[in-house]
Amino acid sequence: MTNPFDHAPDEQLGMLLRRGLDAPAHDDFVHRTLALLATEPGRSSWDVLNTWLRPGVAAAVVLALLFSMWLRLAPPPSVEATLADAVQSADVPASLFSSAQPSSTDNLLAAVVEGR
């Protein structure tokens, strides 16, 4: 991607999305569903898909529970960052944060003019 603001389609990203979203075993899925329908003629395709729904929802609930437990039991971050530490990499003048007097528009203007 050469320009992130370009409105034209990105060929490389499109290729990666097609490869990632392509269902490689789609025909197998259709054949399995039709085979189950053939064994019991009174059932519809929704009935077959419903039999696969409950185990899938149960697995999703278990995974969500495990993930929430992992987030809850994870240790908190040990480093506390201050505002001055966070803005040092953005070239904000340190005089705005290090002075003992409360910041004012004069201090801000002086810091901006000195930064030029």
Q: What does the pLDDT look like over 30-81, one tens digit per residue?
A: 888 788 778 877 778 788 788 888 899 999 999 999 999 998 888 777 777 6
The whole model's pTM is what?
A: 0.35
Report the percent of the chain where pLDDT is more than 90. Answer: 12
pLDDT at 33: 77
CA distances, 87 to each of 90, 93, 94, 100, 101 (Å): 5, 9, 9, 18, 19
Q: Which residue has the higher pLDDT, 20 or 54?
A: 54
Does 102 have pLDDT greater than 80?
Answer: no
